[in-house]
């Protein structure tokens, strides 16, 4: 979708981090923007912070884990702006426990937000974009954790691999309809993802404290350190806009993380070679 000005974008997880940066970049490109998020106060602050950018920025409370909530947010967007063209299924959370603490609550929460949140977004907006026929673009936020698993047996990585697969599957199906698909795969970005527990609904139970001496706790501490040293969200958002304009499927932001991807592909190819012998 080359021309963004005058079009409308809907972004989930838009109260902070990458989602907020995408919202700002869309507004600066002349788009109308609906910011959707579960965190009420942060969302109010976000929409206020974008007050001077773009033609119109609105917000809607939305829990992407709940299909009815996403439906309501979609309707609010159509009511506010008419046709929606760009949909960013970006909301995401992280939780873990490692192999010594496989919490089903953690798995359900992360799967509901990171994976089903994308399903709900596609389900609520795709029929609308197809029907208005003005073209569109779907951006699904995965992660480098959807390309390589450096996080062990974790729901986060499992959901991000799924988001990559869903996006790869959607892209050729939507291309003939004039709808592009991008899957965003960042490495570490300086955001609030390390404090995801702030948005954990009660129905998934409390966040369990990790044994400070466990490998899982060491991994969480290392991830927090790397997030702090991570890329600015605005840099990621600029790459997303570029991918929408050029209709590119994969959006990578950390080329220095290429080596482990190459190693993964080489291991797969070696196993295929063995199967062929
Ligand atoms: N920060 C990183 O290093 C990094 C790297 C790769 C991928 N990502 C992905 O980027 C996306 C955005 O995360 P971020 O890093 O900006 O973190 P963030 O915590 O700053 O933003 C995530 C947003 O999602 C919202 N959210 C959480 N649960 C929600 C729900 N059920 N419904 C609606 N909104 C909900 C939060 O309130 C928050 O505003 C996520 O999908 C994350 O997995 C982040």
pLDDT in tens, 17-54: 999 999 999 999 999 999 999 999 999 999 999 988 87
Distance of CA 24 to the CA centre of its chain: 16
Pocket test for ligand 1, best of 18, 121, 185, 233 (most atoms within 8 A of CB): 18
- Cβ neighbours of residue 230 under 8 Å, at least 6 residues apart? 187, 188, 189, 190, 191
What is the H or E stretch that residue 116 is in? helix 116-132
Which residues share a beta bridge with 141?
Answer: 184
Task: Say if residue 209's pLDDT is above 90.
Answer: no
What is the Cα–Cα distance from 231 to 251, expressed in whole angstroms?
14
pLDDT score for 206 = 87
pLDDT score for 101 = 86
- Would the CB of 64 count as within 6 Å of ligand 1? yes
Kind of pairing, strands 250-252 and 179-185? parallel
Average pLDDT over residues 225-245: 97
Q: Which of 18-27, 64-73, 207-216 has the lowest mean pLDDT?
A: 207-216
250 among known catalytic residues: no
Average pLDDT across the chain, whole number: 96
Q: How many CB atoms lie within 10 A of CB 200?
A: 19
**pLDDT tens, 3-21?**
999 999 999 999 999 999 9
Burial of 253: CB neighbours in 10 Å, binned 0-12, 13-18, 19+: buried
State the catalytic residue, choosing from 125, 156, 188, 204: 156
DSSP string, 3-64: --TT-EEEEESTTSHHHHHHHHHHHHTT-EEEEEES-HHHHHHHHHHTTTSSSEEEEEE--T
Task: Say if residue 276's pLDDT is above 90.
Answer: yes
pLDDT score for 3 = 95
Distance of CA 167 to the CA centre of its chain: 11
- Atom of ligand 1 at shortest distance to CA of 142? 7
Task: Say if residue 150's pLDDT is above 90.
Answer: no
Structure tokens at 39: 């965190």
Task: Say if residue 202's pLDDT is above 80.
Answer: yes
């Amino acid at each position: 979708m080359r021309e963004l000005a005058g079009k409308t974008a809907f972004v989930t997880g838009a109260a902070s981090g990458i989602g907020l940066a995408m919202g700002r970049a869309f507004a600066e490109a002349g788009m109308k923007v609906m910011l959707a998020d579960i965190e009420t106060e942060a969302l109010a602050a976000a929409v206020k912070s974008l007050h001077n950018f773009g033609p119109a920025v609105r917000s809607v409370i939305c829990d992407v884990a709940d299909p009815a909530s996403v439906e309501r947010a979609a309707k609010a967007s159509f009511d506010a702006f008419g046709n929606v063209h760009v949909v960013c299924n970006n909301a995401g959370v992280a939780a873990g426990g490692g192999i010594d603490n496989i919490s089903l609550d953690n798995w359900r929460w992360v799967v509901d937000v990171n994976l089903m949140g994308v399903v709900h977004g596609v389900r609520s907006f795709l029929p609308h974009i197809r029907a208005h026929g003005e073209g569109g673009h779907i951006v699904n936020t995965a992660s480098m954790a959807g390309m390589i698993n450096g996080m062990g047996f974790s729901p986060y990585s499992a959901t991000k691999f799924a988001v990559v697969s869903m996006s790869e599957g959607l892209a050729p199906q939507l291309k003939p309809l004039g709808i592009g698909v991008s899957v965003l795969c960042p490495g570490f970005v300086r955001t609030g993802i390390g404090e995801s527990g702030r948005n954990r609904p009660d129905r998934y139970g409390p966040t369990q404290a990790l044994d400070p001496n466990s490998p899982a706790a060491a991994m969480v501490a290392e991830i927090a350190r790397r997030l702090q040293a991570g890329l600015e969200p605005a840099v990621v958002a600029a790459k997303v806009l570029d991918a929408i304009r050029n209709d590119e499927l994969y959006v990578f932001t950390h080329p220095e993380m290429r080596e482990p991807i190459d190693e993964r592909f080489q291991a797969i190819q070696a196993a295929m070679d063995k199967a062929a012998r």
